[in-house]
């Protein structure tokens, strides 16, 4: 599942970026979907706070988000800091005592409040002491009507004016001349689509387990507890622990037994394999296979180098293609995954011992033998049988892929 949103810049008179308005979308067409305002607000809040990250959507600038009366009454604005949010009152909201009470509360809490697509009615004067901004739609008023509204608002200099739907340079210059402070419209930029792939609840559970198993001191009770929250995951763990690959004498029947029997490294492999498989469901199988080859290769290089980071080396290799799998930058993916910091540094910055293992793996994949030799020297592995290690990793990945293909329930 993807989270879609459009963002449209709001600029000042010098065309410097001031903020973004976030607009809900449910697909790549970049038009507003046929859903009610409550749903649109709920989805944009969810996406900004959980799926994407507000700073990623707005580059650290304020976010203008439309709110209905119901979503304000449900305290949805309080899910975001007053420093990051401008609460836009939708033009469809009818001004009344209930709305005035909610606006007063938001004002007292420090939120910036804007009237969207403003209609000049006397009743709005009751709101002016709590309103910071009024947005005027140039497409819904003539210039004479706009001038008349601005004349009435001169008595309230604390209210900032924003011109919406500015479509020409002439309109921009005119708006500046009559007193608008901020500007928004297709003249500056059409709404820009942003997209991110949401991690499913099952993937988030696996991400939690990846973090727990990336620590050297494994917390078995906590890992057991996480598995027990997910029946499907528990079933897969028990099946894997009892599979023919381990030639068990007696059947393993509890989660704790399975975790102990598998051991730290095997458990980590199992979890990272499941995570990559789920994330890779709509991608070419070669991406998953390459991830597995890198994981095994890095793990075996760490063993040959007598490193203490064998498990982390495996995870580094397995996660090295997660950006391609999720169609997202590695930085954004790493923000969602609670992995050990050394792994994140290796994947994002290309630094540290784990990054050296990954460099060797990538050089070997490309057949870049000069780089491969330099990476071997950096790791003191010039005497190691690296070609055999790589061939072994390929065979291991093929075996794992075969297990997945032969057992569709895994």
User: How confident is residue 306, by pLDDT bands cut at 50, 70 and 90?
Assistant: confident
Question: How crowded is residue 68: how many other Cβ atoms within 10 Å of its Cβ?
Answer: 20
Domain closes at, from 197, 221, 250: 197
**185-222 pLDDT, tens digit each:** 866 544 555 555 556 667 777 777 877 776 667 788 88
pLDDT above 70 (res 233):
yes
Tokens for 401, please give them. 């892929």
Residue 284 has pLDDT above 60, yes or no: no
Domain of 74, in residue numbers: 2-197
Q: pTM for the full model?
A: 0.50
**pLDDT score, position 30:** 33
Question: For residue range 33-82, what is the model confidence (pLDDT) as tens digits?
Answer: 344 455 555 565 555 544 455 666 676 788 898 888 888 888 888 888 89
| Residue-wise pLDDT tens digits, 317-341 | 988 887 777 767 788 888 877 778 8
The CB density around residue 391, as the number of other CB atoms within 10 Å, is 12
Tell me the average pLDDT across 241-269: 78
Pair (58, 167) in one structural domain = yes
> What is the predicted pLDDT for the residue at 7?
67
Please tell me whether residues 353 and 331 are part of one structural domain: yes
| Measured distance CA(363)–CA(346) in Å, rounded | 16
Mean model confidence pLDDT for the chain: 79
Q: Is 185 left (phi over 0), alpha (psi -120 to 50) or beta?
A: left
CATH number of domain containing 88 = 3.20.20.450
- Are residue 122 and residue 205 in the same domain, yes or no? no
End-to-end Cα, the chain, rounded Å: 21
Question: Do both 248 and 393 map to the same domain?
Answer: yes
Tokens read off for 90: 């939708």
């Amino acid at each position: 599942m993807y989270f879609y949103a459009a963002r449209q810049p709001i600029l000042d008179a010098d065309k410097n970026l001031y903020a973004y308005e976030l607009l809900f979308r449910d697909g790549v067409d970049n038009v507003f979907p046929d859903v009610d305002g409550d749903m649109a607000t709920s989805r944009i809040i969810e996406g900004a706070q959980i799926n994407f990250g507000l700073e990623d959507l707005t580059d650290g600038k304020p976010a203008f988000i439309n709110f209905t009366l119901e979503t304000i009454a449900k305290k949805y604005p309080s899910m975001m800091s007053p420093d990051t949010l401008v609460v836009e009152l939708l033009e469809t909201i009818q001004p009344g005592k209930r709305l005035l009470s909610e606006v007063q509360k938001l004002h007292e809490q420090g939120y910036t409040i804007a009237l969207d697509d403003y209609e000049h009615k006397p009743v709005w004067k009751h709101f002016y002491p709590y309103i910071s901004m009024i947005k005027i739609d140039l497409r819904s008023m003539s210039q004479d009507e706009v001038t008349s509204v601005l004349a009435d608002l001169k008595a309230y200099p604390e209210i900032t004016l924003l011109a919406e739907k500015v479509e020409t340079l002439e309109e921009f210059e005119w708006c500046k001349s009559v007193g608008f402070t901020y500007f928004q419209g297709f003249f500056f930029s059409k709404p820009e689509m942003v997209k991110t792939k949401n991690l499913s609840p099952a993937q988030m559970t696996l991400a939690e387990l990846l973090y727990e198993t990336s620590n050297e001191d494994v917390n078995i009770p906590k890992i057991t507890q996480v598995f027990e929250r997910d029946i499907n995951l528990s079933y897969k763990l028990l099946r894997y622990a009892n599979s023919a690959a381990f030639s068990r004498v007696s059947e393993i029947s509890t989660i704790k037994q399975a975790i102990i029997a598998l051991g730290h490294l095997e458990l980590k492999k199992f979890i990272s394999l499941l995570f990559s498989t789920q994330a890779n469901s709509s991608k070419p199988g070669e991406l998953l296979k390459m991830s597995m080859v890198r994981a095994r290769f890095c793990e075996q290089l760490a063993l040959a180098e007598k490193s203490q980071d064998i498990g982390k080396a495996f995870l580094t290799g397995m996660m090295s293609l997660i950006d391609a799998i999720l169609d997202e930058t590695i930085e954004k993916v790493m923000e969602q995954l609670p992995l050990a910091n050394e792994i994140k540094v290796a994947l994002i910055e290309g630094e540290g011992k784990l990054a050296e293992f990954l460099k060797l793996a990538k050089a070997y994949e490309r057949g870049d033998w000069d780089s491969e030799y330099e990476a071997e020297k950096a790791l003191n592995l010039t005497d190691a049988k690296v070609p055999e290690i790589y061939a072994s990793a390929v065979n291991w990945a093929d075996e794992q892929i075969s297990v997945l293909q032969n057992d569709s329930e895994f």
